[in-house]
Chains A and B, each alone.
Chain A
Amino acid sequence: MEEEKNQPAQTAEPETGSFRLIATLGLAGFFSGLVLVSAFLYTRPIIEANRARALQEAIFKVLPGCTGFQTLELHNGQLVVPEEGAAEAQKSGEEVRQVYAGYSEDGQLIGFAISAEEPGYQDLIVGIYGYDPGKKEIIGFEVLESKETPGLGDKIMKDPAFHANFSALSVEPAISVVKKGEKNKNNQIEAITGATISSKAVGRLLDKSMAEWRPVIDEHWKEFTKEEE
Chain B
Amino acid sequence: MNQPTSIEKSRTAEEFLKGIWKENPVFVAVLGMCPTLAVTNTAINSLAMGLATTFVLAFSSLLVSSLRKVIPKQVRITTFIIIIATFVTVVDFMLAAIVPQVHKELGAFIALIVVNCLILGRQEAFASKNNIRLAIADALGMSLGFTFALLCIGIVREILGSGSLFNIPLFGSGFEPWVIMIMPPGGFLTLGFLLLFFNWMQKRRKEKAEEERGETRYEEAREFL
Contacts and interface: CB of A to CB of B under 8 A. Distances in A.
Q: Say if A and B assemble together.
A: yes
Interface of A: 3, 6-7, 11, 15-16, 20-21, 24-25, 28-29, 31-32, 35-36, 39-40, 42-43, 46-47, 50-51, 54, 145, 149-152
A51 B96 CA distance: 10
Contact of B94 (A28, A36, A43, A50): A43
B97 A43 contact: yes
B74 A28 contact: no
B89 interface: yes
B167 interface: no
Closest A-B pairs by Cβ, 7 of them: A151-B179, A46-B97, A43-B97, A43-B93, A32-B86, A16-B72, A39-B90
Interface in B53-104: 69-75, 78-79, 82-83, 85-86, 89-90, 93-94, 96-98, 100, 104
A47 B96 CA distance: 6
Contacts of A47: 93, 96-97, 100
Contacts of A151: 161-162, 177, 179, 182-183
B85 A32 contact: yes
Nearest to A16: B72
Contacts of A42: 93
A24 B100 CA distance: 36
24 contacts: A6-B69, A16-B72, A16-B73, A20-B72, A21-B72, A24-B71, A24-B75, A28-B82, A28-B83, A31-B86, A32-B86, A35-B86, A35-B90, A39-B89, A39-B90, A42-B93, A43-B94, A46-B97, A46-B98, A47-B100, A50-B100, A150-B182, A151-B182, A152-B179
A28 B75 CA distance: 11
A25 B75 contact: yes
B87 to A, nearest CB: 8
Contacts of A50: 96-97, 100
Contacts of B90: 35-36, 39
A32 B41 CA distance: 33
Contacts of A15: 74
B209 to A, nearest CB: 34
A24 B79 contact: yes
A152 to B, nearest CB: 6
A40 B71 contact: no
Contacts of A145: 104
A32 B80 CA distance: 11
Contact of B179 (A24, A25, A28, A150): A150
Nearest to A28: B82
A60 B91 CA distance: 31
A29 B96 contact: no
A7 B94 CA distance: 39
A32 B97 contact: no
A159 to B, nearest CB: 13
Given A28-B82, A29-B82, A150-B183, A43 B75 contact: no
